[in-house]
Amino acid sequence: MPLEVQYKLSTNNLYITYLREHNIWYKKLNRDPKLFNQFIEEMKYNYKLRTSDKISKVVDTVSVVSNLLSNML
């Protein structure tokens, strides 16, 4: 694995955790370092770290708070 990819992996604990959980990525990144962006996208999808996931979580939270407030009044 190229040093650049190793450095990127070592700077983020989520990358390392995901890589250990899905060890097929060791082989993929060793063979083709250009797949690093795909690795990041898959990690974000599985850990629900995408922007759309965050927005959805905020909307759900606001909905719950709104329901609580309406039930209290």
The model's pLDDT over 13-37, given as tens digits with 9 standing for 90+, comes to: 999 999 999 999 999 999 999 999 9
Rg (CA), the chain: 18
Name the nearest CA neighbour of 24 among 10, 42, 4. Answer: 42
Q: Check if the beta carbon of residue 14 is closer than 8 Å to that of residue 47.
A: yes
Under DSSP, is residue 18 helix (H, G, I), strand (E, B) or coil? helix
In the chain, what are the domain boundaries? 3-72
Q: What is the per-residue pLDDT for 29?
A: 95
Kindly state the tokens that stand for 39: 């690795």
Q: What is the per-residue pLDDT for 9?
A: 93
* Angstrom distance (rounded) from CA 20 to CA 11: 15
